[in-house]
Amino acid sequence: MEKKVRVRFAPSPTGPLHIGGVRTALYNYLFAKHYNGDFILRIEDTDQTRLVPGAEEFIYDSLKWCGFEPDESPLHGGPYAPYKQSDRKPIYKTYAEQLLNSGKAYYAFDTPEELENIRKNFEAEGKTFIYNQETRLNLNNSLTLSNEEVQKKLQNHENYVIRLKIDGNEDIEFQDLIRGDVKFNKLQVDDKVLLKSDGMPTYHLANVVDDFLMKITHVIRGEEWLPSTPLHILLYQALGWEEDMPKFSHLPLLLKPSGKGKLSKRDGDQLGFPVFPLSWKDPKTGEKSSGYREEGYLPEAFVNFLVFQGWNPGTEQEIFSLQELSKIFSLEKVHKAGAKFDIKKAVWFNEHYLRCASHERILPLLKEELKKTDWLVSDENLLKAFFLMKNRISFHKELFTKGKFLFQEPDHFDWNTIEKKFHPNILSILTKIHDKWSIQNEWKSEILEIDFKELVENFQEKLGNVLPLLRNALTGESSGPNLFEIAVFLGKFETIKRIFSFIETLNQKFTYKY
């Protein structure tokens, strides 16, 4: 029987989860769901010095917003709990000792400063220092020290790390589900630190141990891990878990729009688009970064956009729900090369989802935005306003900026256009329409349109000369949604009021000229 597919997303809470991480989570989620498998969230907080308060929360909130609920996580629990590596500390030590006892690992007492010095010296000679079978015999470790010396150091509580002992010069080959055959030579793999001097494991040990214990079948992670995969394989072998080794897949990176380097946290708002799913305030510096959610992206648009950065279905369909994606997602369709990030497509996706949004979908979001204003608008009117504006906005919150005139009298006019079109005749037409509409009891857009067109015809004016003025009266703009529908939305009282005050304004501005 095939093993049940189990994948994990294993971020470390050293800062806000960024968009590349979200995509990794997305691909993991889709892969798991495609095979009816489990999607596990594991928090990799083994570097106690880099923990950032709030970062872990941020991960939960981000996944939730995107709609990738983990089957198991520190929050959800699960059969292999705990899911936070700092809570698993003793486990790693056991396995590190197992390796020590079987001669597959050794103690090393070199201090970070000593190693740094050696690295510098090597660099000065144009060489790279690697702590491996070629150099370790000149260093301070249990392979070079006598047993008594080692015991003494341990008893004195001298700082030590445990390193994996790698011997031989064979190639380590493996099948990457995205990249195909990949091989590295053992000589290039260094005797990596497994257990740090603070007793915490490094990523490599913790990762392998947890993936094994949590019965992970597929490791889907960023390309930055490709070079350390041979080390992980060696670790599986050293621990005797080769049979249960997961399959590896390395995702292409998300690159800066310039293509120079991977999209990083620092790019943030400098480039004019968010790199985080949610907004984030740095607890140390207080620096704020924008998020897709706060910018007004709908999560379904964000996810749909993101899935295409490095993957495609092989068909020409582009609009997919998360559920549809999980049906058709496959790792073979993941591109190998990094994708330069282009926000324009994301905006397009948002516009698309906005235009298709149902009342139920959009109303809560609109109400949330409405709270930021001091306008009182009924749900019904909010929706009416949205449907009036939705074809000309990219984000729902723009309803309250680009469609401001729907909720309050215009606070500005497009004088450029007004001055071009203005003519005393037009003032008369505006006055007439004001009078006519004042006694119009059937307040429907078709009727209002007929009223207006008749008047314009009587004056032998062109529609295009008068309409922009009337539009300015109602909206302060020279273009926008159907004007008569706007009038209906505003209601008779408000419409007439705005026309009246616009006539006053025009009178004040132009009387001296004529």
Partner RNA sequence: GCUCCGUUCGUCUAGAGGUUAGGACCCAAGAUUUUCAUUCUUGUAACAGGGGUUCGAUUCCCCUACGGAGUACCA
SS3 377: coil
The single residue among 200, 208, 245, 331 that binds RNA, judged by CB under 7 A, is 200
Which range in 4-12, 31-39, 291-299, 489-497 contacts RNA by CB under 7 A? Answer: 4-12
Query: Which one of the listed residues 265, 340, 497, 509 is annotated catalytic?
Result: 265
- Residue 337 CB, shortest distance to RNA, in Å, is 3
Rounded Cα–Cα distance for residues 171 and 182 (Å): 10
CA terminus-to-terminus distance, the chain: 92
Mark the segment that binds RNA (CB under 7 A) among 24-32, 55-63, 200-208, 289-297: 200-208
Asked if 446 contacts 423 with a C-beta cutoff of 8 angstroms, the reply is no
Chain positions 442 to 471 lying near RNA, rule: CB under 7 A, are: 463-464, 467-468, 471
Measured from the CB atom, the residue of 431 and 478 that comes closer to RNA is 478
- CB neighbour list of residue 233: distance below 8 Å, 6 or more residues apart: 172, 174, 245
Interacting residues of 171 by C-beta distance below 8 A, sequence separation 6+:
183, 184, 185, 186
* Spatial distance between the Cα atoms of 183 and 116, rounded to a whole number of angstroms: 29
Handedness of CA 399, 405, 406, 409 (dihedral sign): positive
CB of 171: closest distance to RNA in angstroms? 9
Strands (E), 196-325: 218-222, 247-251, 254-255, 280-281, 288-289
At its nearest, how many Å lie between RNA and the CB of residue 81? 19
Using alpha carbons only, give the angle 351, 354, 359 rounded to the nearest 5 degrees: 170
Closer CB to RNA, residue 78 or residue 313?
313
Interaction between residue 295 and RNA (CB under 7 A): no
Asked if 110 touches RNA (CB under 7 A), the answer is yes
How many CB atoms are closer than 10 A to CB 449?
15
Q: Is 125 a residue that touches RNA (CB under 7 A)?
A: no
Binding of RNA at residue 112 (CB under 7 A)? yes
Work out which of 6, 8, 9, 10 binds RNA, going by CB under 7 A.
Answer: 10
Residues 105, 96: contact at Cβ < 8 Å?
Answer: yes
Is 482 among the residues that bind RNA (CB under 7 A)?
A: yes
Q: Tokens 């009182």 label which residue?
A: 376
Q: Which stretch binds RNA (CB under 7 A): 99-107, 225-233, 322-330, 504-512?
A: 225-233
324 makes contact with RNA (CB under 7 A): no
* Residue 284 annotated among the catalytic residues of the structure: no
- Closest separation between CB of residue 230 and RNA, Å? 9
Q: Could you give the dihedral angle defined by the CA atoms of residues 355, 361, 363 and 368, in that order, rounded to the nearest 10 degrees?
A: -110
β partners of residue 161 = 108
Q: What residues from 388 to 417 belong to the interface with RNA (CB under 7 A)?
A: 391-392
Helices 483-490, 379-389: axis angle to 10 degrees equals: 170
Binding of RNA at residue 350 (CB under 7 A)? Answer: no
Q: Where are the alpha helices (DSSP H) in 125-168?
A: 147-155
Q: Indicate the residue among 38 and 223 with the shorter CB distance to RNA.
A: 223
Span of 420-428, 479-487, 490-498, 501-509 interacting with RNA by CB under 7 A: 479-487
345 binds RNA, rule: CB under 7 A: yes
- In the block, which residue shows the tokens 């294993």? 10
Q: Is 318 a binder of RNA (CB under 7 A)?
A: yes
- Whichever of 188 and 290 has its CB closer to RNA, that residue is 188
Report if residue 337 touches RNA, rule: CB under 7 A. Answer: yes
Which residues, numbered 201-220, are part of the site for RNA (CB under 7 A)?
202-203
Is there binding between residue 513 and RNA (CB under 7 A)? no
When asked if residue 50 is in the footprint of RNA (CB under 7 A), the reply is: yes
Residue 300 touching RNA (CB under 7 A): no
- 159-178 positions binding RNA, by CB under 7 A: 159, 161
Contact 253, 334 (CB under 8 A): no
Give the C-alpha separation, 43 to 78, whole Å.
14
Please state the closest distance from residue 440 (CB atom) to RNA, in A. 17
* Nearest distance, CB of residue 511 and RNA, angstroms: 26
Applying CB under 7 A, among 243, 316, 360, 411 the residue interacting with RNA is: 316
SS3 84: strand
Q: Is the peptide bond prior to 82 cis by the omega test (within 30 degrees of 0)?
A: yes
Q: Which is nearer to RNA, 154 or 379 (CB)?
A: 154
Q: Should residue 35 be labelled a site residue for RNA when binding is judged by CB under 7 A?
A: no
Choice from 479, 501, 507, 511 touching RNA (CB under 7 A): 479
Identify any residues that bridge with 193 across adjacent strands, giving them in sequence order: 163
CA 393/CA 390 separation, integer angstroms: 6
Size of the site for RNA (CB under 7 A): 82
Six-digit token string for 346: 């994301």
- Residue window 229-268: x/- pattern of binding to RNA, with contact defined by CB under 7 A: -----------------------xx-x---xxxx------
Q: Contacting RNA (CB under 7 A), which of 86, 144, 312, 505?
A: 312
**Residues 230 and 32: beta-carbon distance below 8 Å:** no
Closest to 16 (Cα-Cα) out of 287, 246, 227 = 287
Residues tagged active-site: 265
